[in-house]
Amino acid sequence: MSTILRDPSLLVVEGLSEQGWACVPEFLSREECLALAADGMAAWEEGDFRKAEVGRGKNKVIREDIRRDHVRWLEPESMSAAEGRYLERLEEVRRAINGRLFLGLFGFEGHFALYQPGAFYKPHLDRHRETMDRVVTVILYLNDGWEAAHGGQLKLWTTPGDKEGASVIVEPRLGTLVAFMAGDHWHEVLPAQETRMSITGWFRVREG
CA distances, 85 to each of 106, 109, 176, 184 (Å): 18, 15, 16, 29
Per-residue model confidence (pLDDT) at position 2: 44
Per-residue pLDDT of the chain (208 residues; tens, 9 = 90+): 444 456 899 999 999 999 999 999 999 999 999 999 999 999 999 999 999 999 888 889 999 999 999 999 999 889 999 999 999 999 999 999 999 999 999 999 999 999 999 999 999 999 876 667 899 999 999 999 999 999 999 999 999 999 999 999 999 999 999 999 999 999 999 999 999 999 999 999 987 5
Helices (H), the chain: 8-19, 30-45, 81-101
CB neighbour list of residue 124: distance below 8 Å, 6 or more residues apart: 66, 67, 186, 187, 188
pTM: 0.94
Per-residue model confidence (pLDDT) at position 130: 63
User: Domains in the chain, please, with CATH?
Assistant: 3-204 (2.60.120.620)
d(Cα 66, Cα 175) in Å, to the nearest integer?
Answer: 27
**Alpha carbon 57 to chain centroid distance?**
21
Order across the sheet with 167-170: list the strands: 121-124, 187-189, 154-157, 167-170
